[in-house]
Amino acid sequence: MVPMALVLILFGREILSLFGAEFRAGYETLIILTLGQLLNAFTGPVGFLMIMTGNQRIATAVEAVSTTIQIGLVIALLPGWGIEGAAVGMATATVVRNVAMFAYAWQRTGIRSSII
C-alpha cells in the first residue's frame, strides 16, 4: 500500500492527465483520499475482525456513526472547499471508523490488527 500511495503522491498529476488534462485538477483530492486510505490500511481488517469475533453490533454502530460524520462533513465542507472538502469529509470518516474499530477490537478481543 505504501509504495502505491507514494506513486500516487509523486506522480498523481501525470497519472490523472492520462484521462485528460481536466483531470489534473483532481490531484489534491487524490492526495487527500490516498492518505485516508493509507491510514485505513494501517489499521488492518478491523471491520472483518469485529464481525468474525461476534462484535457485529458494535461494528454496525461504529459504521452508523462514521457514516453520519461523513455525511455531515461532506455537507458542511463541500460549499466552501468544493471537491477537496468532500474528500476531507470522506477521509476523516474513514479514519474515525477504522480507529474506533481498532480500539474496540483491541479492547474486546485483545487482538491488535494494525500492520505496525
Q: pLDDT of 82-91, one tens digit each?
A: 999 999 999 9
For the stretch 5-42, pLDDT in tens is 999 999 999 999 999 989 999 999 999 999 999 999 99
Q: How far apart are CA 73 and CA 109, in angstroms?
A: 31
- Whether the per-residue pLDDT at 113 is higher than 90: the answer is no
Give the C-alpha distances (Å, rounded to integers) separating 56 from 17, 49, 52, 60, 88. 42, 9, 8, 6, 27
81, 88 contact by CB (below 8 A): yes
The pTM for the full model equals 0.86
DSSP three-state, residue 43: helix
